[in-house]
Amino acid sequence: MSCKIGVSSDHDGRRLDRTLRSIWPALPLSAIMRALRKGEVRLDGARVREGSARIRAGQELYVPWEEPGAEAPVRNWGPVPVLWRGGGVLVVNKPAGLLVQPDVKDGDSVVTRVWSMFGTGGPGFSPAAAHRLDRNTTGVLAVALAGEALRELERLFRERLVSKRYLAVVAGFPPERGTVDAPLLKDETTGIVRVGKNGKTAKTRYERLAASEALSLSLVSVELLTGRTHQARVHMAHAGHPILGDGKYGDIETNRRWRREAKRPLLHAFELAFPDGLTGALLEVSGRTFRADPPEDMDKFIKLLECGTDRRQRQ
């Protein structure tokens, strides 16, 4: 099966790979990238193999899948908690264990849940996340419900105009305030990110909010000044204070000690703040700040650290 569609104004100037993901949200990224590598995607009849290619309204797009909207998600995976809904922007509280995009066709994810809850945003456009959170990171996530809103959201995140603040439970006692300015390299084969001089610029600020000497744990606020993959996790580990429960970048002994209580990296996207002066499709979020309360597994640690209780509360 295959189809041809005209590129609408919703996608004018966008990257091809992001456009494909938003038009076909139930399709896994692996299928999209495979089709690009094999030359099965065409624009105005010409094969396009680079996902970074920019597309324009009015172009004819050919893909080896059925037309968008012809098939609803195979399964309704249930809702995702909604913090706020506007005309073009939806803000959700992403739970742990949920991908932002599906990894298999029609798989469970934030965008497929939003798709089943609210439908498509119009011909050739489906809800699309404007930024990313790791599978086991919880918290505030912005989803675009219309093409113009998506383009503007992507621009804001690209230009680092949106403030992103996280809460994390970390090992040890970091300084009261600190900044990690260390470039990050990602191994595309393993997905592992590490600090490396040839990596992409990455900068993180953190502030210690509470700490317990007896627990040898601290609660920190983390502000990402750039938006690299696994940035908060790698930078806090680089600073010597890895996030509790992080099996990839964390401290083995600390994780073992708290394995019953911390079954995931205790990292929560607490706050997303938009700048003032936004117009057009983003007028509705101009100057607004969205917050999400931490989930239960993390809240238990926060209460222990904030109240100064050093007793290990095991069941």
Catalytic residues: 134
3-state SS string over the chain? CCEEEECCHHHCCCEHHHHHHHHCCCCCHHHHHHHHHCCCCEECCEECCCCCCECCCCCEEEECCCCCCCCCCCCCCCCCCEEEECCCEEEEEECCCCCCCCCCCCCCCHHHHHHHHHCCCECCECCEECCCCCCCCEEEEEEECCHHHHHHHHHHHHCCCCEEEEEEEEECCCCCEEEEECCEEECCCCCCEEECCCCECCEEEEEEEEEECCCCEEEEEEEECCCCCCHHHHHHHHCCCCECCCCCCCCHHHHHHCCCCCCCCCEEEEEEECCCCCCHHHHHHCCCEEECCCCHHHHHHHHHHHHCCCCCCCC
- What's the token pair of residue 127? 């809800």
> What angle, 0 to 180 degrees and rounded to 10, lies between the N-to-C axes of helices 16-23 and 29-37?
130
Contact 77, 116 (CB under 8 A): yes
Q: Annotate 96-108 with b (16+ C-beta within 10 A) or e (fewer).
A: bebbbbbeeebbb
For residue 117, report the phi and psi dihedrals to the nearest 5 degrees.
-80, -40
CB 219 within 8 A of CB 306: yes
